[in-house]
Amino acid sequence: MRFSEALIPTLKEDPAEAEVVSHRLMMRAGMIRKLAAGIYDLLPLGLRVIRKVENIVRQEMNAAGCQEVFLPSVQPAELWQESGRWDQYGPELLRLRDRHNREFCYGPTAEEVITELVRGTVRSYRQLPLNLYQIQTKFRDEIRPRFGLMRCREFGMKDAYSFDADEPGAEASYRVMYDTYSRIFARCGLRFRAVEADTGAIGGSFSHEFMVLANTGEDAIAACESCQYAANIEKAEIGLRDEPEPFTGEADAPERVPTPGRRTIEEVTSFLDVKPDRLIKTLILTTPEGTVAALVRGDHDLAAAKLKLFLGVEWVEMADPETIQRITGAPVGFAGPVGMAEKIRIVADNVLRGIGPAVVGGNETDVHIANVLLGRDFTPDDFADIREAQKGDACPRCEGNMTVMRGIEVGHVFKLGTKYSKAMGATFLDENGHELPLVMGCYGIGIGRTAAAAIEQNHDDKGIIWPVPLAPYEVLLLSINPGDSKISEASDRLMAELEGLGIEVLYDDRDERPGVKFNDADLLGIPFRITVGARNLEQGLVEIKRRNETELKKVPIDQVVKMVADMVTEAKAV
Amino acid sequence: MRFSEALIPTLKEDPAEAEVVSHRLMMRAGMIRKLAAGIYDLLPLGLRVIRKVENIVRQEMNAAGCQEVFLPSVQPAELWQESGRWDQYGPELLRLRDRHNREFCYGPTAEEVITELVRGTVRSYRQLPLNLYQIQTKFRDEIRPRFGLMRCREFGMKDAYSFDADEPGAEASYRVMYDTYSRIFARCGLRFRAVEADTGAIGGSFSHEFMVLANTGEDAIAACESCQYAANIEKAEIGLRDEPEPFTGEADAPERVPTPGRRTIEEVTSFLDVKPDRLIKTLILTTPEGTVAALVRGDHDLAAAKLKLFLGVEWVEMADPETIQRITGAPVGFAGPVGMAEKIRIVADNVLRGIGPAVVGGNETDVHIANVLLGRDFTPDDFADIREAQKGDACPRCEGNMTVMRGIEVGHVFKLGTKYSKAMGATFLDENGHELPLVMGCYGIGIGRTAAAAIEQNHDDKGIIWPVPLAPYEVLLLSINPGDSKISEASDRLMAELEGLGIEVLYDDRDERPGVKFNDADLLGIPFRITVGARNLEQGLVEIKRRNETELKKVPIDQVVKMVADMVTEAKAV
């Protein structure tokens, strides 16, 4: 494609509305254009990236034995009433009425439609397992759409639905999708982790979020450096390898010390000149089953989700100031396990077994207690893994260490069970002629979100740095002064030869200053740049540069095509 | 793909709701499934056909220098208000409101959105010409959706929009699209004609409908057998080659004859024992400029659209009985050019110059007049080409003959001019720095409609007969008794070898009776069938059959792969 003929309306300035880097760079690179809040035109360059993601998804889904379908976006309300979601779904569901005043919605997902399709076409266990997917436009009427393609209202999504005869079958289907998703994101050239997600009522490890790793990601993840284990930091388990022995040394008697106005860990440790790991934080929480005190070390954070899981309750919340006053006898900031006004259940983090003499809150305004010894001065009701994981923590699955990273959710695999099949009567006859509900799973990938996440992961202050498999073009052929016939002839020839090898080339033949063209080259982020200029050309040379490297190489013009073609091929191999 | 694992829910019975053959066969072949009125699931087999059409469209659009974009389906009302269409468009426009109560529609087409995109990104004549297209889901809330994918509410459409600096540029863009559409439908393997369409206020030949020819088509087309000329039969011009000389022979005096109760051509000619071509039909019509009598030969039909064009009026309608009574002095059925009660303008079809003595209506109940001679007994005010074309008529463009065929509209190319660019302020600066409105064209192809039209054109009473380029699979490998290990091994090997050559194979490995499998093979209409059965296999043979031929050939199993691959390649070459 010749740049001079292409619709690539690059912007020099950052658009004011763009809050995140992918949004800003997609706008500036002329990939997308806002039509309305959360609704974007995909321009030629943006669409090419989207198609790359879609094609990788399609190839891998087909290779996994899934069958592609295409379901309507306008879905009858009746089906959503059958599943119960018509009333459950809030205003994110875009509801509409046709000319006959019948109710429909613009599908945000397709569980109902696919279940209707399968209940009408599948009768027997011999037709199972079945996995149907589509790549289709969805609509979710987000209250505050933002971040460009990262959180928009109209968006492209791959959604797949598996149907099995029983739980083991459903688990096998789930595993196939897990592996397929891993291949998809690897083939996209992205660094990612599959993260254990909350399974709600289902239990087991049958929900994973696929996270593209990026410092700008919304989610914090604890992930093992040695094995596949990863989880949202709020839920990540911590291995027992480093669990301390109970403290058996000597300690002075407890001592009440005045800490006027010092409430936070920083204030207290700095005032008393002790390290945070010599302090025990006491958090008062309310749960459906009463008030609880949770103890964690001063340099640790409570993981409320883990405490909730340990207690086996539906929710856990920080207690309000009145409750804290009543329970501890002091205002917020001075709670401690020794001498509370009311006796409540105390859950201590595993690591506190070995903490030794420590500082705790005094349950009295402006007072802490030093030299408090667990087992001597107070005894927790339980020890449990209730803190947030940190870099260096032991992996719960292997001998490795955990690290903490940030990520962007781009895919989700989920075992649905029989929720929809039971509600909508999607059954089959098993080998004995018994009618049973189908066991389902659902599997989504945000197509535009994957493209945006690729930019969040791969960019610098000049622009995008596309992974080769997702790049809108593989090679940028930059012709300096294309008015010079020697340069344009040499460039035209390179263009033809590269395209002859199936390489996707954007040929910057514009009559623009070199500075403008080099800036656009960095902004667009095409992986390989070939520069044709007068001085090099006289010596039979052109310049090549990878977008993700700083080095410029001069190579003979008659070798550059093969060199670049080899580099492209190598970069796309997984 | 193995049939046993595929979701191809074929039906034995015709679905009651399906009125046309393509609807019936797509349902029976398990290609589509109705979700709601005019809203269909595309099942795996149906989607494969749709993708074939889309890929041909995409390749040819790209080859023509068009750039693919993807625009939102949810379009803000404001844009439609700018163009004026928000109020003009009736209930076919699906209007909706988001959670903030802002008005949108589900786009039935994208003139407004594309014009908004281009006015925001195109500034200079140097960015022109520009042709942007998308393949996207549209919604038109038809009052009575029917015929499956032929006239549904949610449907896939390729819509393209060209932008030029001036009229000659726009005409050149139009011509490129005309040629591109011709290549697209040729590559689809369809017999089609580009038909001149009504251009309304624009004039010139800047609107063509592309019609797939099929006996079941809704539209009648007159088309030259020698050149490219074709037009809707109501508008088709007729060449002057066969125009008769004025009659100069002798004739008896006119004679009033009683024709009691005989009003129609058939009744009068049979009663008087004359041929229809000896009779002149007199039609009384009202127009904005008064009442007119149109005369055509008894075996011809008036083409009202051509009369309208000749008269240069906005509309032409059959007069009501009261007007006819007033003008002719007789009730409907007895009008004639001789002795009308009121004098009105008489327009005679060209062919009547040479008709000689003829029968006409007597302007009196139950009376006709025989031996009426044009020029002697009455004189028309004008001669003009006002009849519908018939098979054998002279082509208006060449020396060829016309024929009459039926067709289904699958594409439309249209020169829009500056309607949208003026209304929405889409301008550019020309070489002299003058701000001018962009000159636009729009170009649509109904993707699902093309697939349905392919079936209307290519089927028999057993099922579909796919043109190879659109077939969901190219080869059906039918294994008789796959429980026999020799058969299944041979079939498996053929499957692997065919797929190794890039051939798309549906492998009927089902444990079903041969009759069921042969019936499904005919129903699905896959172009090449290879049958592996025990008796032939013992002799090292398999059977091949083309779906569009009756002949069965036995060929050595070690030659069949190459033979079939060659046939597929040949069939896809255009």
Region of poorest pLDDT, from B116-120, B193-197, B324-328: B193-197
Residue A123's pLDDT band (cuts 50, 70, 90):
very high
Query: Does A65 contact B5 at a Cβ distance shorter than 8 Å?
Result: yes
Q: CA geometry: angle at A48 spanning A42 and A53, to 5°?
A: 105
- In sequence order, the β-bridge partners of residue B372 are B358
For B336-369, write each residue's pLDDT tens digit. Answer: 999 999 999 999 999 999 999 999 999 999 999 9
3-state secondary structure of A7: coil
- Written as six digits, the tokens of A550 are 């700083």
Query: Does A74 contact B154 at a Cβ distance shorter than 8 Å?
Result: yes
Q: Is the pLDDT of residue A77 over 50?
A: yes
| B120 contacts in chain A (CB < 8 Å) | 9, 33
Say yes or no: A43 contacts chain B, CB-CB below 8 A.
yes
For A484-534, write each residue's pLDDT tens digit. Answer: 999 999 999 999 999 999 999 999 999 999 999 999 999 999 999 999 999
The per-residue pLDDT for A573 is: 85
- Written as six digits, the tokens of A392 are 């260096």
- In sequence order, the β-bridge partners of residue B364 are B367
Query: Does B67 contact A98 at a Cβ distance shorter than 8 Å?
Result: no
Q: Is the pLDDT of residue B202 over 50?
A: no
| A59 contacts in chain B (CB < 8 Å) | none
Residue B131 C-alpha from the chain's centroid: 24
Amino acid identity at B492:
D
- Which residue bears the tokens 């690539």? A8
Cβ neighbour number for residue B423 with a 10 Å cutoff: 16
- Written as six digits, the tokens of A442 are 């659902």
Give the start-end residues of each E strand in B350-401: 358-364, 367-372, 382-384
This complex has an ipTM of: 0.90
- Averaged pLDDT score across all residues of chain B: 95
| CA pair distance A340, A214, nearest whole angstrom | 44
Query: Does A40 contact B143 at a Cβ distance shorter than 8 Å?
Result: no
Phi, psi of B409 (to 5 degrees): -70, 125
Query: Does A35 contact B106 at a Cβ distance shorter than 8 Å?
Result: no
Go through chain B and tell me how many residues it has: 574
Query: Does B99 contact A137 at a Cβ distance shorter than 8 Å?
Result: no
Q: Which of A96, A534, A471 is nearest to B73 (CA)?
A: A96
The per-residue pLDDT for B363 is: 96
| A52 contacts in chain B (CB < 8 Å) | none
Find out whether B395 and B417 touch, Cβ atoms under 8 Å: no
Q: Which residue of A has its CA nearest to B2?
A: A65
For B471-502, write each residue's pLDDT tens digit. Answer: 999 999 999 999 999 999 999 999 999 999 99
Virtual CA dihedral for B570, B571, B573, B574, nearest 10 degrees? 140
Q: Which of B45, B131, B164, B73 is nearest to B427 (CA)?
A: B164
- Which residue bears the tokens 């790991």? A277
Which of A7, A39, A72 comes nearest B74 by C-beta? A39
Distance from CA of B132 to the nearest CA of A (A): 9
| A127 contacts in chain B (CB < 8 Å) | 7
The per-residue pLDDT for B170 is: 96
Q: Which of B2, B4, B43 to mutate to test the interface with A (most CBs of A within 10 A)?
A: B43
pLDDT > 70: percent of chain A: 99
The per-residue pLDDT for B199 is: 55
Say yes or no: A121 contacts chain B, CB-CB below 8 A.
yes
| B121 contacts in chain A (CB < 8 Å) | 7, 9, 30, 33, 43
- Written as six digits, the tokens of A295 are 């103890």
Q: Which of B99, B150, B105, B156 is nearest to B133 (CA)?
A: B156
Size of interface A-B (CB pairs under 8 A): 143
Say yes or no: B106 contacts chain A, CB-CB below 8 A.
yes
- Which residue bears the tokens 């309208």? B308
Give the start-end residues of each E strand in A169-279: 192-196, 207-213, 219-224, 230-232, 255-258
Peptide bond into B129 cis (omega under 30): yes
Say yes or no: B144 contacts chain A, CB-CB below 8 A.
no
Distance from CA of B92 to the nearest CA of A (A): 8
For B63-115, write each residue's pLDDT tens digit. Answer: 999 999 999 999 999 999 999 999 999 999 999 999 999 999 999 999 999 99
Which of A4, A35, A76 comes nearest B72 by C-beta? A35
The DSSP-derived string for A515-565 is: HHHHHHHHHHT-SEEEEE-HHHHHTTEEEEEETT---EEEEEHHHHHHHHH
The per-residue pLDDT for B250 is: 85
Mean local confidence (pLDDT), A172-191 = 97
Mean local confidence (pLDDT), A163-176 = 97
Q: Is the pLDDT of residue A204 over 60?
A: no
The per-residue pLDDT for B201 is: 44
Cβ neighbour number for residue B63 with a 10 Å cutoff: 10
| Element at B322 (helix H, strand E) | helix B321-328
Which of A33, A74, A130 comes nearest B139 by C-beta? A74
| CA pair distance B504, B1, nearest whole angstrom | 8
Q: Is the pLDDT of residue B204 over 60?
A: no
Q: Is the pLDDT of residue A201 over 50?
A: no
For A14-69, write each residue's pLDDT tens digit. Answer: 998 888 999 999 999 999 999 999 999 999 999 999 999 999 999 999 999 999 99
| CA pair distance B363, A266, nearest whole angstrom | 112
Region of poorest pLDDT, from A134-143, A236-245, A440-449, B514-523: A236-245
Q: Is the pLDDT of residue A205 over 70?
A: no
The per-residue pLDDT for A202 is: 45
Say yes or no: B68 contacts chain A, CB-CB below 8 A.
yes
Distance from CA of B465 to the nearest CA of A (A): 22
Mean local confidence (pLDDT), B370-381 = 95
| CA pair distance A239, A385, nearest whole angstrom | 9
Q: What is the pTM of this model?
A: 0.90
- Averaged pLDDT score across all residues of chain A: 95
| CA pair distance B483, B4, nearest whole angstrom | 13
| CA pair distance B563, A132, nearest whole angstrom | 34
Say yes or no: B115 contacts chain A, CB-CB below 8 A.
no
pLDDT > 90: percent of chain B: 91
Q: Is the pLDDT of residue B48 over 90?
A: yes
